[in-house]
Chain A
Amino acid sequence: MTCPFWRKRGTNLPEDVQENRKPWRLSKLLGYPSGDGSGREPRISEARSSLGRMIVPVILLLIWQIAAGWLNQPWIFPPVTRVIEQLVHPLREHYASGSLLSNTFISLLRVLLGFLLAAVAGIGLGIAMGSIRIIRNSLEPIVEILRPLCPIAWLPFAIAVFKRGTLPQLFGFGYTRTVFDQVQLGMVFVIFVGGFFPVLTNTLDGVMGVRRNYLLLARALGAKPMQLFLHVYLPASMPMILTGLRQGLGLCWFVIIAAEMLPGAETGIGYLLIFASDNAAMDIVIAAMLIVGGIGAILSLMMRKIMSGLIRWHGKEI
């Protein structure tokens, strides 16, 4: 605020805008929520922050476009326009590997299935381990050994166990000619492993950190041991559980891309990425990268929204 440059910039503006200008911060320029968080920011600030959000990406895209034109080797560094061209035609079939959209959908399906299994198992086991000492003591060594293991390392094992089995086959449907035929159990298993440990460890920490006072209060009000799980352990550790779910989902999305890039995969956005790269189609590679990044961001944002809605009380315990 002592910087004369900003003060000079503000002097010609109406007073309320000047007022709004005072706590000028980088966070505001980039459009992050700032300040005390009370009430809504005036509209002029919103317009400016969404403009602020746009500036840096637009400049980078421009540099990219100019540099690519200057380099003129699109198989290494294609111009933005060609990547955008791929992105606006997501249904275009690429050789025999399907389209950007269909492969993305397959990857998402695998992730969601594996993640759901991981969430249920992770939360259940986390609560059990956190609240019952015998279970915790007997399982902790196993968890500690398996947890640091990169989920991808499970892939050979998973393929050996599940062979090429798919979800419909598991339920005796055989080949269904649907997208579910692409949901290989081995893939789902690896995703499961990826999501399971973040959910488990966060839930465990959450449950272990439940204030004893809340357990005493519940018991004093007549809660039976089983009721403590549902009405104290679960809600009290919800902030940590949701953190675990968010981390877990993020990791699942990481893992599926890596898993699909390995030999043996035949579909998925990760597969399309490596396939396009083998065919020197760098525009498709970059388009796939942008899609993967975008979906990762959307998933993370979604989880954050759900979290803030579910646990408004978090950090305000009295």
Chain B
Amino acid sequence: MTLDGTDKHPKEKLIALELRGVCKTFRSDTGDRVKALNDVSLLVHRGEFVTIVGATGCGKTTLLNLIAGLDMADDGYLRLGEDLRFGDNIAHVFQHYTLFPWRTAVSNVSFGLQMRGLPRSERQTRAEELLTRVGLKGFENAYPHELSGGMRQRAAIAQALAIEPKLLLMDEPFGAVDDSTRTELQQMLTDLWQENQTTVIFVTHNVDEAIVLGSRVLVFSERPGKISCEFKICLPRPRNRITKEFTDLFIHVRKSLSGQLD
């Protein structure tokens, strides 16, 4: 709820992202105004894994789009870390349509490198490495429609990592996969994050997921979206869900998420 909690973050103090009083209102096709974000303030440091949890429709996607520069805020202040630039070192795993259906897995992963003008053989090698890293060896030449939901998300993550992002935005990337696949993917993402120390902003509507992944959990209130609460998660990784600390935290986050209604 305040910014000072993050000031005590033990990692380097370099700022990746700062938002202050950001507001966003949409005008729907029928002319109604929908206030999606109301006075959102947020400070993210380099190397943090921040999860944002909130109900569907509370403005999580809108927030990520603002950060990614895909949309403009109406009001407020938004600052990216010095060397962070959209289209360069900020990757975005979208909620839907995360892969190009006309490209194979390997050519999806190498898309970003192709745009940067890397020679074919080089990007091929790099993409194959990444696919192996996310557990898709042998599926290099499969089209997205030939992959399962979980495999597509793996490919999408590899596609985002291919551009070696310094900031990784993820919009409910595991929203459409079954529970056991979801757990696997969470584990994989945690490992990747620990290897690369990329700054991650991960949006989800799943409280459990937010706690398993995040070094910090931000709770988003109902629309208009606003960060209502913040939890620092110090549980050791890999995180065990079946511990008292975890369930206590779960109950806390859950309460603050639904507390808005009381």
Contact = CB atoms under 8 A, between A and B. Distances in A.
Interface of A: 211, 213-214, 216-224, 227, 231-232, 235-236, 238, 311-313, 316-318
Q: Which 10 A-B pairs have the closest CB atoms?
A: A316-B145, A213-B97, A221-B112, A220-B92, A313-B101, A222-B115, A235-B102, A317-B101, A223-B115, A222-B87
A312 B102 CA distance: 8
Interface string B99-125: 111110000000110111000000000
Contacts, number: 76
Contacts of B87: 219-223
A318 B144 contact: yes
Nearest to A310: B102
B111 A318 contact: no
A238 B97 CA distance: 18
B115 A227 contact: yes
Contacts of B186: none
Nearest to B176: A318
Contacts of B103: 235
B94 A218 contact: no
A235 B32 CA distance: 36
Given A211-B97, A318-B152, A220 B143 contact: no
Contacts of A227: 115
Contacts of A317: 97, 101, 145
Contact of A216 (B70, B144, B159): B70
Contacts of A223: 87, 111, 115
Contact of A220 (B90, B100, B102, B114): B90
A223 B111 CA distance: 9
Interface string B153-175: 00000011001000000000000
A236 B102 contact: yes
Nearest to B146: A316
Contact of B102 (A213, A217, A222, A238): A238
5 contacts: A214-B100, A220-B92, A221-B159, A316-B144, A317-B101
B97 A222 contact: no
B245 interface: no
Contacts of B114: 231
A220 B86 contact: yes
B187 interface: no
Contacts of B86: 220
B27 interface: no
Nearest to B110: A221
Contacts of B159: 221
Nearest to A219: B87
B163 A235 contact: no
Which of A219, A222, A316 counts the most B-chain CB atoms under 10 A from its CB? A222
B68 interface: yes
A9 B99 CA distance: 51
Which of B70, B94, B97 counts the most A-chain CB atoms under 10 A from its CB? B97
A236 B160 CA distance: 20
Given A220-B92, A235-B103, 7 more contacts: A221-B91, A221-B159, A222-B88, A231-B115, A232-B100, A313-B101, A318-B152
